[in-house]
């Protein structure tokens, strides 16, 4: 008995196929393997299955890397017609599909096409740990958490006051774990997270009340932009989790580099914008909705005493905050464009492309003997060859597909082979994961019972 194993590179993932796999599995038409070679399609594989009639295939057929519904349908149909054909998908085709290539959210697409990725609103320890793990693997990914996740937690959702609980509703939600803010701050210090924001979007109590009878209708959003610097200084520097230099990096410099506005922003130097914060690390204040400048009647950091106050803020050379008093003039702000392809991000991409580019191997020219072909398909070695010049051997040209033609070669199986050698050869041919289990009896039993002809 012979078994033909067709091995193909993986065709691209085909969209919307997960439900179909379950139906095929229930019928017992596919067998699982987790091997994942490079993603290159091979239409010839499926052409052979679909178009060759059973009389031209004199042995069972094992097809690996079945990646689409159409290919699975072919295998399933041929099995129902009585053909001995086995199909095998890969893990990727069972757990996901090709729709990710066209996903509107680029964090999904980036995972499949290998581009740099910036993830905002990291709210949980598990999400931050996953991001840090991918950075340690060398993936180009950056993460941003927000002031709300660093200064408070999700325990407020269980407050008996509906207005208080609704005031903390945002997306993604705060985690009901008191250790989350501290853990995120530590990840900022070690570099697993790189930037901080606020996702500032405030709503008054009356606006939040739109969801008083249905929490899904509560407007999502909290404050943070006014208190971000003080909260991070209190929870990070004052607590000893980071130094002042790291504080400047995670609140200013890193973001400027990632979004390609450095050194115009994120640095105090000649030629940079004259945006300067004069920070008083020893001053304290108590955060309250009664004293903040935001046009909202609620503050998620209500009652928190923080160190670190901006005594003076200079924007474009003008003082806009002086001793805690805002002196900004409406209309003085300017739009800051963020050009594409930041060197801080894409510089590593270019260096990787250079490092991984194919390199030419310099070799001395070959000056040894060369075998020549004659008109009758016979080959003879030229003078000086290691093969005797009077020795001829017959060989047939390659197949139409370009492969080695094994049907007309000098190789043959001697009848003097022992049963043990025959069994070892069969085991080598059937060295495909799970194939022995599919064929029922063990190969030794089949050979010894003379049920298999080689």
Length of the chain: 454
Residue ranges covered by each domain of the chain: 4-99, 114-354, 416-434+441-454
Structure tokens at 22: 């379950």
pTM above 0.85, yes or no: no
Pairing of strands 4-6, 61-64: parallel
Mean pLDDT of 63-88: 75
Mean pLDDT of 421-435: 56
For the 114-354 domain, the top CATH level (class) is alpha beta
Q: How confident is the model at residue 194 (pLDDT cuts 50, 70, 90)?
A: very high
Mean pLDDT of 158-170: 95
Which residues are registered as beta bridge partners of 318? 315
Which residues are registered as beta bridge partners of 30? 87
At a CB cut-off of 8 Å and minimum separation 6, what does 385 contact? 369, 371
At a CB cut-off of 8 Å and minimum separation 6, what does 367 contact? none
pLDDT at residue 428 in the model:
58
Residue 244 — φ and ψ, nearest 5°? -60, -35
Which residues are registered as beta bridge partners of 6? 63
At a CB cut-off of 8 Å and minimum separation 6, what does 297 contact? 204, 205, 289
Cβ distance 92 to 36 under 8 Å? yes
pLDDT at residue 63 in the model:
73
Q: CA–CA separation, 423 vs 397, rounded Å? A: 31
Question: Residue 126 is inside which H or E element, if any?
Answer: helix 125-136
Mean pLDDT of 238-251: 96
pLDDT at residue 105 in the model:
52
At a CB cut-off of 8 Å and minimum separation 6, what does 100 contact? 13, 108, 109, 111, 112
- Give percent of the chain above pLDDT 90: 41
In whole angstroms, how far apart are CA 289 and each of 155, 254, 382, 447? 20, 30, 96, 85
Q: Is the pLDDT confidence value at 34 over 60? A: no
Cβ distance 278 to 310 under 8 Å? yes
For the ranges 111-125, 129-143, 370-384, 434-448, the lowest mean pLDDT is seen at: 434-448
Q: Is the pLDDT confidence value at 94 over 90? A: no
Q: Is the pLDDT confidence value at 240 over 90? A: yes
Q: How confident is the model at residue 247 (pLDDT cuts 50, 70, 90)?
A: very high
Q: Is the pLDDT confidence value at 388 over 50? A: no
For the ranges 149-163, 164-178, 281-295, 420-434, the lowest mean pLDDT is seen at: 420-434
For the ranges 83-92, 119-128, 156-165, 319-328, the lowest mean pLDDT is seen at: 83-92
Q: Is the pLDDT confidence value at 227 over 90? A: yes
Mean pLDDT over the full length of the chain = 75
Q: How confident is the model at residue 138 (pLDDT cuts 50, 70, 90)?
A: confident
């Amino acid at each position: 008995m012979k078994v033909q194993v067709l091995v193909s590179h993986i065709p691209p993932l085909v969209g919307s196929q997960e439900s179909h796999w379950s139906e095929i599995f229930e019928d017992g038409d596919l067998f699982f393997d987790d091997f994942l070679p490079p993603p290159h399609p091979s239409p010839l594989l499926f052409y052979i299955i679909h178009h060759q009639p059973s009389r031209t295939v004199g042995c069972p057929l094992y097809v690996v890397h079945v990646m689409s519904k159409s290919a699975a349908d072919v295998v399933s149909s041929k099995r129902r017609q009585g053909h001995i054909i086995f199909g095998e998908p890969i893990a990727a085709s069972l757990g996901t599909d090709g729709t990710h290539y066209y996903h509107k959210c680029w964090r999904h697409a980036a995972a499949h096409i290998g581009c740099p990725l910036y993830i905002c609103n990291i709210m949980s320890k598990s999400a931050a740990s996953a991001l840090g793990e991918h950075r340690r693997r060398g993936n180009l990914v950056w993460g941003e958490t927000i002031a709300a996740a660093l200064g408070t937690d999700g325990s407020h959702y269980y407050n008996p006051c509906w207005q208080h609980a609704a005031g903390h509703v945002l997306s993604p939600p705060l985690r009901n774990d008191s250790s989350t803010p501290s853990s995120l701050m530590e990840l900022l210090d070690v570099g697993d997270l790189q930037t901080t924001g606020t996702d500032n979007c405030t709503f008054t109590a009356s606006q939040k009340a739109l969801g008083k009878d249905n929490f899904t209708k509560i407007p999502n959003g909290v404050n943070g932009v006014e208190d971000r610097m003080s909260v991070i200084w209190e929870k990070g520097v004052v607590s000893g989790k980071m130094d002042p230099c790291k504080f400047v990096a995670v609140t200013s410099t890193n973001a400027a580099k990632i979004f390609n506005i450095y050194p115009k922003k994120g640095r105090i130097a000649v030629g940079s914008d004259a945006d300067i914060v004069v920070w008083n690390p020893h001053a304290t204040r108590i955060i309250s909705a009664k004293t903040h400048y935001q046009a909202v009647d609620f503050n998620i950091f209500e009652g928190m005493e923080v160190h670190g106050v901006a005594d003076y803020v200079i924007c474009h050379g003008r003082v806009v905050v002086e001793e805690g008093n805002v002196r900004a003039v409406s209309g003085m702000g300017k739009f800051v464009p963020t050009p594409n392809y930041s060197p801080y991000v894409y510089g590593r991409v270019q260096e990787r492309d250079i490092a991984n580019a194919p390199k030419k191997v310099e070799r001395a020219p070959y000056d040894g003997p060369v075998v020549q072909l004659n008109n009758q398909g016979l080959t003879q070695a030229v003078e000086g060859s290691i093969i005797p010049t009077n020795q001829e051997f017959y060989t047939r040209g390659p197949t139409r597909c370009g492969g080695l033609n094994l049907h007309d070669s000098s190789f043959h199986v001697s009848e003097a082979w022992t049963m043990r050698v025959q069994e070892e050869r069969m085991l080598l041919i059937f060295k495909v994961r799970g194939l022995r289990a599919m064929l029922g009896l063990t190969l030794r039993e089949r050979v010894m019972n003379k049920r298999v002809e080689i």
